């Protein structure tokens, strides 16, 4: 028996590859399925089953493409009603892979079809659970993502999750390994650990939601407290996972269509496509195609694309470093942004060499910021999360998280200059590109963000003024 966790940092997502005696199973596969096919070929095993823990909201799974390529059956737990051929399993149903077994544990609460899969080894011993978004390391799945489809409130779903955890998960032996679908950074929970593997015993001892003395009422209150609104693309990803989607190959072929600068410009004008520049902030600010939005590949690329663009059907024209185009299209497809209609051939350098019009961002060094800022007079916008802001921030700075830019951008006075920063420059360049695309040029973006500011003598505080926090 072999178990491999295939972890994708950008999505904080864990897929699983399991083999035994010539057969294999994949749990919660990513959109691009070639890595699983390569593993199976190298191990000389046949992929027999594809297990889905639930209809994922934060990424598009590769179950359909993988099933078409291998003939493997797709398995969902009870209550699932996908619009394609699959096996909707019964609670406690057993599936055999070589000499091991996978037992279905229906664990509703995160969603009503949410299912945990228990692996029983060759000796008949409970070995591990693949808990999806039911149980994370240090947390549990948020109960507010299935309200519309389940016709239940988040409190009702949380109560359902309470019983799933106590009746199906906490009754297992302490040495059973826990393999979750996500780790820290995922929006599917609120306080996940950076660790991606644990045991039932460790979670009973350390996970706030698994306290033995916890009442249902206390659980519901703690699990629902402080939930931020889910990213707008989540519902669309659920629909794609439930109804189906275009093959990854066709999406990749469209995105890899290389356009010379003139053709790229014409395509943007004719289609109204959003121009997405995936270069790093350090390159983007020096020069970019007018109206383009910067979300760098070297960061939490896919989640920020989903948070900022929202509509997965939006037509996209891509600008990337040469050789990075396929990676960009692939990572967009993971979160359902399949409508990439082409990319700029030769990247931005080709655009510039062709004499096309370019724009720049007013980025200043932290030393220049220290010299120019006047605490109490200058307007400073901190676009980090509220928790980051609360920990420490520049005196008199306003908290305006990037995730809510569409709410606060309308309050910007285009005649009033302001300074803007995040933690290191990644998020503030996203904001800068959005602001400038919408006609705002009255700002200075601070290079290095608060990480650089913290090393200066600029006055800072952890006192939170509620009037300066966006609500």
Q: Which residues pair with 102 in a beta bridge?
A: 95, 119
Overall fold of domain 246-359: Oxidized Rhodanese; domain 1 (3.40.250)
Sequence-distant (≥ 6) Cβ neighbours of residue 279 within 8 angstroms: 288, 294, 296, 297, 319, 320, 321, 347, 348
- For 303, the 3-state DSSP assignment is helix
| 309-329 pLDDT, tens digit each | 989 999 999 999 999 999 999
What is the side-by-side order of every strand in the sheet holding 418-421? 363-364, 443-446, 418-421, 379-382, 398-399
Looking at residue 10, what is its pLDDT? Answer: 86
| Topology agreement, domain 2-235 and domain 363-468 | no
Q: How far apart are CA 370 and CA 362, in angstroms?
A: 16
The pLDDT score that the predictor gives to residue 467 is: 59
Task: Give the number of residues written for the chain.
Answer: 471
**Which pLDDT does position 470 carry in this prediction?**
58
Domain ranges of the chain: 2-235, 246-359, 363-468
pLDDT, tens digit, for every residue of 102-156?
999 999 999 999 999 999 999 999 999 999 999 999 999 999 887 554 578 999 9
- The Cα–Cα gap between 285 and 294 comes to 9
Q: What does the pLDDT read at residue 471?
A: 45
Q: What percent of the chain has pLDDT over 90?
A: 90
Instruction: Calculate ∠ Cα 266-268-274, nearest 5°.
Output: 170
CATH number of 2-235: 3.60.15.10
The confidence score (pLDDT) of residue 226 equals 86
Q: Which CATH number fits domain 363-468: 3.40.250.10, 1.20.120.160, 3.10.20.80, 3.40.50.300?
A: 3.40.250.10
Average pLDDT, 10 consecutive residues per value, the chain (471 residues): 94 96 98 96 98 96 97 97 97 98 97 97 98 97 74 92 98 98 88 93 97 96 90 92 96 97 97 97 98 95 91 96 96 96 98 97 98 96 94 96 94 95 98 97 98 96 71 45
Q: Is the pTM of this model over 0.85?
A: yes
């Amino acid at each position: 028996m072999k178990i491999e966790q295939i972890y994708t940092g950008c999505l904080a997502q864990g897929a699983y590859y399991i083999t035994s005696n010539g057969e294999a199973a994949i749990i919660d596969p990513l959109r691009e399925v070639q890595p699983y096919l390569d593993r199976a070929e190298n191990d000389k095993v046949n992929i027999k089953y594809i297990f889905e823990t639930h209809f994922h909201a934060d990424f598009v799974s590769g179950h359909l493409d993988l099933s078409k390529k291998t003939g493997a059956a797709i398995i969902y737990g009870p209550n699932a009603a996908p619009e394609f051929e699959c096996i909707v399993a019964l609670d406690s149903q057993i599936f055999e892979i070589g000499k091991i077994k996978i037992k279905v544990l229906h664990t509703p609460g995160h969603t009503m079809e949410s299912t945990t899969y228990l692996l029983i080894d060759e000796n008949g011993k409970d070995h591990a659970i693949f808990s999806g978004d039911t149980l994370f390391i240090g947390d549990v799945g948020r109960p507010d993502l299935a309200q519309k489809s389940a016709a239940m409130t988040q409190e009702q779903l949380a109560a359902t999750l309470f019983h799933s955890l106590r009746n199906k998960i906490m009754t297992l032996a302490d040495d059973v390994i826990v393999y979750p679908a996500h780790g820290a950074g995922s929006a599917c929970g609120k306080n996940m650990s950076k660790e991606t593997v644990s045991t039932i015993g460790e979670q009973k001892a350390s996970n706030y939601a698994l306290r033995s003395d916890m009442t249902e009422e206390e659980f519901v209150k703690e699990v629902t407290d402080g939930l931020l609104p889910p990213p707008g693309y989540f519902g669309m990803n659920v629909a794609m996972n439930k109804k189906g989607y275009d093959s990854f190959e066709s999406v990749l072929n469209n995105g890899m269509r290389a356009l010379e600068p003139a053709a790229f410009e014409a395509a943007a004008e004719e289609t109204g496509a959003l121009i997405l520049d995936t270069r790093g902030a350090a390159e983007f600010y020096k020069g970019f195609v007018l109206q383009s939005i910067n979300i760098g590949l070297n960061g939490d690329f896919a989640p920020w694309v989903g948070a900022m663009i929202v509509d997965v059907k939006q037509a996209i024209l891509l600008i990337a470093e040469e050789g990075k185009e396929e990676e960009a299209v692939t990572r967009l497809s993971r979160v359902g942004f399949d409508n990439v209609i082409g990319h700029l051939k030769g990247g931005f350098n080709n655009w510039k060499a062709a004499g096309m019009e370019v724009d720049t961002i007013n980025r200043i060094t932290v030393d220049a910021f220290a010299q120019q800022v006047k605490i109490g007079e200058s307007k400073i916008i901190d676009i980090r999360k509220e928790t980051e802001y609360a920990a420490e921030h520049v005196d008199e700075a306003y908290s305006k998280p990037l995730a809510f830019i569409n709410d606060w951008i309308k309050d910007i006075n285009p005649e009033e200059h302001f300074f803007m920063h995040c933690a290191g420059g990644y998020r503030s360049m996203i904001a800068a590109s959005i602001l400038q695309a919408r006609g705002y040029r009255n700002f200075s973006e601070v290079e290095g963000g608060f990480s650089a500011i913290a090393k200066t003598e600029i006055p800072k505080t952890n006192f939170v003024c509620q009037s300066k926090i966006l609500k």
